[in-house]
C-alpha cells in the first residue's frame, strides 16, 4: 500500500527491501504503482501446454521486430535499375532493382546478413502458424465465449493483419517468385468491379509493375501494419490479463477461481524461458535450413516465371481457391465481371473471416447461452461446435492443398487436371462428412467417459472364474479424471415457443423464435447426460461387490 507517510519514509526503508527496493520506491513515489505491481507479481496463470500457443505468436512477433530492424539497416526498397556487381557470381552483370540487389548484398556480403534474413522469414512463418493454431485452441475449447468475445474479434483482426504483413514482406525482395505473387495480387485488385482499375493504378503509381510499389509496400510493411499489430497485441494481452485466463476443468477449478502458478517467479521463468526457446529454435532453424533462396529465383521481370510459383503457406488457401474456381466471367453493358477472380479471392475470404469474427455471437444466438464462461469446454463436450470447427478446417485444408497442387503433382506423378477436379468435388463433399464423423467421435468419447465413471478403467488383468467365465478387473478412475469428466456443463436447449399466446392470439414473432429454438436444439442434439449421483452410487456399489468376488476368488486360487 502506498500511503503518504510511507512514501516520506521510503528512502530509509530502501535498503531493507533489497537492491531493487530504491528503484521500486522511486517509481512508486511518482506513480503509486505498488498495488498494481503486487497484483502483477501475484497474478495466477493456469498451466497447460495449449495456453502457450499464443505465446509462440507473441515471441515470434518480437523476433520479427528485432530481425526486421536489422534488415532495414541494409535493405533499400527502391526499384531503380542497377547492374549487380556483388559477390554472387551467377548474377554478376544482371540488371535488377536496388531492392533485389540490396537483398543479395544482405545475403552474400553482410556477415550474418543471411542469418538475419532467414530468422526474419522463418519467424514470419512461425508467427502466422502460431496465430492460427492458437485460434484453433481458443475455438475448440470455447474460450471465445462471454466475456471474451472482444478479444476474439481482436484476434481475428490480428490474423488478417498478419496475412497482409506477411504478404507485403514476401513481396519486398523483388525476386521472380515474389514479383509473380505481386502480379497476381495486382490482377485481383484490377478485377474489383467499378473501382479496381483505379485502385490498381493508384496503388502501383500507374501500370504494373511501375517503380512506386516497393517504397509504398515498404512503409506499409515496416510502419503501418506493424504499428497496428503492436497496438492490437497490447490490447489483446491487457484483456487476457484483466479478464484472467480461462482454465480447463479439474479438481478445485471452478468458474469463479483460477488455479495455477504466480507470475513471479514461476511464469517469469517459464514464459521468459519460453521466449528464449522460441527465439533459439528460430535461430537454429535459420542457421540450418535455407528459406526463400532469392538468388535462385533471380530478379523479377514481368516476362519471366518459374514453375512451382507459390506464395508462403498462409496465402496458400487463397491461391488454392483461385486455382479451383471454374472460369466464369460476365460481360454486361460494356463491363466485365470476373467471377473467376472476385469469388475465390475476395468473396470467399471475406465470408470466411467475417464468419470467424462473428462466431461467438452466432453460437450465443443459436444456443441462447448468455452465461459467462471461465472454465473451458473439452472439445468432446461441445460436439456440434467441434464438428463445425473441423468442417471449416477441412474446407480450409482442401484449399491449402490445392494451392500446392502443381508441386504435389510433380512430386507424386499425379495429373494436375484430375487433382483439380477431385478438389473441386471434395471442397463441397468432404466438410459435411468431416462434421458428421467428428460429432460421432465426440459423442463416442463422451460415452466412454461415462463408462469410465460408472465402471472404472480396464486394467487389462483378466480373471477366469470357476464357471469358466472371463472377467476383466476394472479399477475406479482417479479423482482428477473424475473431476474432469464430471465438469461437463449442463446444456439447456431453448424451448419451442407456443405459436399462440395464452389468449389465443397468434404470436407474430413465433416463426423466428421457432427457428431459433430449433437451431438451439440442433446445436445441443444428441446430448449424453452425465450419470446422476444415484447411478454413480449404484455403480460404485456394484464395483465394490465385483471386486470382493474377484478378491475372494484370487484367495481361493492361492490357497490351492
Q: Interface with another protein by CB under 8 A: which range of 24-32, 432-440, 474-482, 516-524?
A: 474-482
Which residues, numbered 419-458, are part of the site for another protein (CB under 8 A)?
Answer: 420
User: Per-residue x/- mask for another protein, residues 362 to 401, rule CB under 8 A?
Assistant: ---------xx-xx--------------------------
What sign has the CA pseudo-torsion 112, 118, 121, 124? Answer: negative
Told to check if 94 binds another protein by CB under 8 A, we report yes
Which residues, numbered 48-77, are part of the site for another protein (CB under 8 A)?
Answer: 48-53, 56
Q: Interface with another protein by CB under 8 A: which range of 5-13, 290-298, 429-437, 440-448?
A: 290-298
Residues 415 and 425: their CA atoms lie apart, in Å, by 16
Residues 35 and 2: their CA atoms lie apart, in Å, by 8
Which residues, numbered 318-357, are part of the site for another protein (CB under 8 A)?
Answer: 319, 322-329, 331, 334-338, 340-341, 344
- Residue corresponding to grid cell 440442433: 522
Q: Interface with another protein by CB under 8 A: which range of 304-312, 431-439, 448-456, 544-552?
A: 304-312
Number of residues binding to another protein, judged by CB under 8 A: 173
Told to check if 118 binds another protein by CB under 8 A, we report yes
| Other Cβ atoms within 10 Å of 327 Cβ, number | 7
Told to check if 416 binds another protein by CB under 8 A, we report yes
The widest CA-to-CA distance across the chain, in whole angstroms, is 100
Q: Interface with another protein by CB under 8 A: which range of 217-225, 408-416, 441-449, 539-547?
A: 408-416
Residues 275 and 558: their CA atoms lie apart, in Å, by 58
Told to check if 529 binds another protein by CB under 8 A, we report no
> Residue from 147, 350, 444, 529 that binds another protein (CB under 8 A)?
147
Q: Which is nearer to another protein, 286 or 392 (CB)?
A: 286
Nearest to 191 by CA among 60, 93, 317, 338: 338
List Cα–Cα distances, 82 to 92, 100, 169, 293, in angstroms. 11, 10, 21, 20
Q: Which is nearer to another protein, 113 or 155 (CB)?
A: 113
Least Cβ distance, residue 455 to another protein (angstroms): 19
Least Cβ distance, residue 71 to another protein (angstroms): 15
For 26-165, list the strands marked E by DSSP. 44-45, 81-83, 95-97
Q: Interface with another protein by CB under 8 A: which range of 316-324, 383-391, 459-467, 513-521?
A: 316-324
383-402 helix and 316-324 helix, angle to the nearest 10 degrees:
70
Q: Which residues contact 307 (CB under 8 A, 6 or more apart)?
A: 406, 410
Which residues, numbered 490-509, are part of the site for another protein (CB under 8 A)?
Answer: 490
Mapped onto helix, strand or coil, the DSSP state of residue 470 is: strand
372 near 365, Cβ under 8 Å? no
Phi, psi angle pair for 508, to nearest 5°: -65, -25
Least Cβ distance, residue 528 to another protein (angstroms): 15
Amino acid at each position: 500500500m502506498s500511503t503518504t507517510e510511507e512514501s516520506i519514509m521510503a528512502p530509509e526503508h530502501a535498503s531493507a527491501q533489497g537492491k531493487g527496493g530504491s528503484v521500486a520506491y522511486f517509481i512508486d513515489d511518482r506513480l503509486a504503482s505498488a498495488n498494481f505491481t503486487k497484483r502483477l507479481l501475484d497474478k495466477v496463470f493456469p498451466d497447460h501446454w495449449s495456453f502457450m500457443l499464443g505465446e509462440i505468436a507473441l515471441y515470434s512477433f518480437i523476433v520479427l521486430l528485432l530481425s526486421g530492424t536489422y534488415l532495414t539497416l541494409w535493405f533499400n526498397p527502391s526499384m531503380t535499375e542497377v547492374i549487380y556487381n556483388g559477390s554472387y557470381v551467377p548474377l554478376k552483370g544482371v540488371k535488377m532493382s536496388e531492392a533485389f540487389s540490396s537483398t543479395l548484398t544482405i545475403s552474400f556480403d553482410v556477415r550474418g546478413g543471411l542469418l538475419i534474413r532467414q530468422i526474419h522469414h522463418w519467424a514470419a512463418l512461425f508467427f502466422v502458424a502460431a496465430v492460427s493454431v492458437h485460434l484453433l485452441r481458443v475455438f475448440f475449447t470455447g474460450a471465445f465465449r462471454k466475456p471474451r468475445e472482444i478479444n476474439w474479434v481482436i484476434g481475428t483482426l490480428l490474423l488478417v493483419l498478419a496475412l497482409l504483413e506477411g504478404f507485403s514482406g514476401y513481396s519486398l525482395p523483388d525476386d521472380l517468385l515474389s514479383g509473380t505473387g505481386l502480379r497476381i495480387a495486382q490482377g485481383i485488385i484490377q478485377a474489383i468491379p467499378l473501382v479496381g482499375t483505379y485502385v490498381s493504378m493508384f496503388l502501383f503509381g500507374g501500370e504494373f509493375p511501375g517503380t512506386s510499389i516497393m517504397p509504398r509496400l515498404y512503409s506499409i510493411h515496416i510502419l503501418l501494419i506493424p504499428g497496428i499489430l503492436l497496438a492490437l497485441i497490447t490490447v489483446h494481452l491487457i484483456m487476457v490479463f484483466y479478464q484472467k485466463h480461462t482454465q480447463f476443468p479439474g479438481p478445485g477449478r471452478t468458474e469463479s477461481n483460477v488455479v495455477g502458478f504466480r507470475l513471479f517467479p514461476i511464469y517469469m521463468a517459464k514464459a521468459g524461458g519460453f521466449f528464449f526457446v522460441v527465439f533459439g529454435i528460430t535461430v537454429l532453424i535459420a542457421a540450418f535450413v535455407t528459406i526463400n533462396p532469392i538468388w535462385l529465383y533471380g530478379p523479377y521481370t514481368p516476362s519471366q516465371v518459374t514453375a512451382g510459383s507459390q506464395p508462403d503457406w498462409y496465402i496458400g488457401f487463397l491461391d488454392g481457391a483461385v486455382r479451383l474456381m471454374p472460369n466464369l466471367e460476365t460481360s454486361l453493358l460494356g463491363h466485365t465481371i470476373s467471377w473467376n477472380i472476385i469469388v475465390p479471392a475476395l468473396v470467399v475470404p471475406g465470408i470466411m473471416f467475417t464468419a470467424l469474427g462473428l462466431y461467438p455471437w452466432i453460437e450465443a444466438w443459436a444456443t441462447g447461452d448468455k452465461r459467462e464462461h471461465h472454465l473451458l469446454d473439452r472439445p468432446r463436450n461441445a460436439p456440434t461446435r467441434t464438428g463445425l470447427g473441423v468442417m471449416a478446417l477441412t474446407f480450409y485444408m482442401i484449399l491449402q492443398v490445392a494451392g500446392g497442387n502443381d508441386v504435389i503433382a510433380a512430386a507424386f506423378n499425379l495429373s494436375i487436371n484430375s487433382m483439380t477436379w477431385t478438389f473441386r468435388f471434395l471442397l463441397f463433399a468432404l466438410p459435411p462428412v468431416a462434421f458428421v464423423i467428428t460429432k460421432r467421435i465426440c459423442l463416442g468419447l463422451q460415452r466412454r467417459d461415462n463408462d469410465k465413471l460408472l465402471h472404472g478403467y480396464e486394467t487389462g488383468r483378466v480373471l477366469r472364474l470357476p464357471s469358466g467365465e472371463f472377467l476383466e478387473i476394472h479399477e475406479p478412475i482417479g479423482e482428477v479424471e473424475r473431476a474432469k469428466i464430471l465438469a461437463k456443463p449442463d446444456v439447456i436447449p431453448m424451448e419451442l415457443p407456443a405459436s399462440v399466446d395464452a389468449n389465443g392470439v397468434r404470436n407474430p414473432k413465433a416463426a423466428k423464435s421457432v427457428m431459433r429454438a430449433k437451431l438451439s436444439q440442433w446445436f445441443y442434439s444428441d446430448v449424453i447426460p452425465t450419470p446422476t449421483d444415484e447411478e454413480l452410487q449404484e455403480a460404485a456399489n456394484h464395483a465394490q461387490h465385483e471386486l470382493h468376488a474377484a478378491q475372494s476368488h484370487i484367495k481361493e486360487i492361492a490357497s490351492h
